[in-house]
Amino acid sequence: MTALRPERESDTSYGQQSYGVPGASEDWSGGAYGAAPRPEPQPYSPEAQARAYPGGPGSQPYAPGPQPQPQPYMPQPQPQPQPVPQPDPYAEPYGAGAGANVGAGAGEPFLPPADEETVALRIPDPLPSDGDSAGDPIAGSRAASRARRDGPASGGRAARRKAAKRRHGRHGGPAEAPAGAPAREGARAPLSRVEARRQARARKPGVAVVASRAIGEVFITTGVLMLLFVTYQLWWTNVRAHAQAGKEASSLQNDWASGKRNPGVFEPGQGFAILHIPKLDVVVPIAEGTSSKGVLDRGMVGHYAEGALKTAMPGDKTGNFGLAGHRNTHGEPFRYINKLAPGDPIVVETQDEYYVYKMASILPVTSPSNTSVLNPIPTGSGFTKPGRYITLTTCTPEFTSKYRMIVWGKMVEERPRSKGKPDALVS
């Protein structure tokens, strides 16, 4: 039964203008859109279906195709369960809720640095139940370790503050173990008083150790003192003696220029002449006497003028002018007199004259008691008659005073100071 509906412009125009066929209407009895009449339905048959649709299901007889072969079962890898990240109990007050500080990603809290008071005032999360621990073994182990470390979360603010102090220690020191807590792995049990005393006695050094240490310290101290003494003798005495000798020579020349010193008898230790040995570059004052402390140790050479060892002065017409000086230490003016050769000049400068001697002979070794070397005609010098001689005496070998070395010279020129320096000093 066809339903009634009002006519519309679109329907009328659609029926009239369908595919350009004028006068077409909606009446299906005359064919759609004014076409030829609809054919009558025919009964189904495979032959007719094959003729109507070549290549269709009825065109060729049915033949079963190849069946797929069953494949062996291959187990697929199962995804491993990932641990569920547990929220930090101290991050909840700063969660991603309203007014929270959010980090780079959504829901990532930004926690400010916390001090001990802040940590003490934070309320930790309640421990998970057995079911939660069984479901999440990681969370259960964390909760168990937190429970062993912190103890039960009970009490008010004071209790939490004490727990924080036990965990972090006072003033940054080692943490205090809570009462009843099991000892940590590797911690040593406190020693008893008897055991502590026994260990203290065992650590105390014995008598032999103390004695060996004392002897070693004595040896070290002795070695240091000897080293200081050697340094003083070989270096500092020379420095001081050179300074004293130079000062005495300068003062002597100034007195000569000003006329303060006159020739005559001199007091022990008083300088009266200057000795020049050009080959050895020696310029040293000559003082009266051979005292070690007053003359020789001050870097000067001494004139033998005491008792049986009294010798002549340079101005005497005949005689032997005998001098003594150190070979080592205290200025060591005679250290290299063994290098003098016959003919080398030795000059004695006084207030009015220059006395020039030529080195004649040397006696390398003799006894300290051999005073004959200072005679007016010295024994062993090779001189056979009276004359004006000079004798230089010093210790030998070096750094000892066991023997004496003797050098002799003979005067060859006497020159007044008014005529200037002799050729031996000028050249």
SS3 letters across 222-266 = HHHHHHHHHHHHHHHHHHHHHHHHHHHHHHHHHHHHHCCCCCCCC
pLDDT at position 184: 57
pLDDT band, residue 158 (cuts 50/70/90): confident
Identified catalytic residue from 326, 327, 388, 415: 326
How far apart are the C-alpha atoms of 409 and 353, rounded to whole Å? 18
| Residue 383, φ and ψ in degrees, nearest 5 | -80, 140
- CA 190 from chain centre, in angstroms, equals 39
pLDDT at position 90: 54
Q: Which of 346, 385, 386, 348 is nearest to 362 (CA)?
A: 346
- CA 370 from chain centre, in angstroms, equals 63
Our answer to whether residue 160 is catalytic in this structure is: no
pLDDT band, residue 185 (cuts 50/70/90): low
Q: Which two structure tokens, joined as six digits, stand for 220?
A: 């070290």
pLDDT band, residue 62 (cuts 50/70/90): low
pLDDT band, residue 31 (cuts 50/70/90): very low
In the chain, CATH 2.40.260.10 covers: 241-426
How far apart are the C-alpha atoms of 309 and 316, rounded to whole Å? 16
When mean pLDDT is compared over 46-55, 92-101, 145-154, 292-301, the highest value belongs to: 292-301
| Residue 286, φ and ψ in degrees, nearest 5 | -110, 125
pLDDT at position 380: 93
pLDDT band, residue 154 (cuts 50/70/90): low
Q: How many CB atoms lie under 10 A from the CB of residue 322?
A: 25
Q: Would you say the C-alpha torsion 93, 99, 104, 108 has a positive or negative sign?
A: positive
Q: Which two structure tokens, joined as six digits, stand for 298?
A: 């001050």
370 and 404 Cβ atoms separated by less than 8 Å: yes
pLDDT band, residue 97 (cuts 50/70/90): very low
Q: Which two structure tokens, joined as six digits, stand for 282?
A: 């020696």
Q: Which two structure tokens, joined as six digits, stand for 350?
A: 């006084």
**In this predicted structure, which of 234-248, 256-270, 276-290, 292-306 has the lowest mean pLDDT?**
256-270
Our answer to whether residue 326 is catalytic in this structure is: yes
Q: Which two structure tokens, joined as six digits, stand for 366?
A: 């003799």
**Residues facing 406 on adjacent strands:** 363, 393
Q: Which two structure tokens, joined as six digits, stand for 258?
A: 């000003």
SS3 letters across 124-149 = CCCCCCHHHHHHCHHHHHHHHHHHHH
pLDDT band, residue 201 (cuts 50/70/90): confident
**In this predicted structure, which of 166-175, 263-272, 345-354 has the lowest mean pLDDT?**
166-175
How far apart are the C-alpha atoms of 144 and 415, rounded to whole Å? 115
The architecture that CATH gives domain 241-426 is: Beta Barrel (2.40)
Our answer to whether residue 404 is catalytic in this structure is: yes
Q: Which two structure tokens, joined as six digits, stand for 244?
A: 């004293």
Residues in the chain: 427
pLDDT at position 45: 67
Identified catalytic residue from 166, 298, 388, 395: 395
Token match 């005497």: residue? 316
Identified catalytic residue from 160, 388, 404, 415: 404
Could you report the per-residue pLDDT of 202-243, keeping only the tens digit for each?
888 888 888 999 999 999 999 999 999 889 888 999 999 999
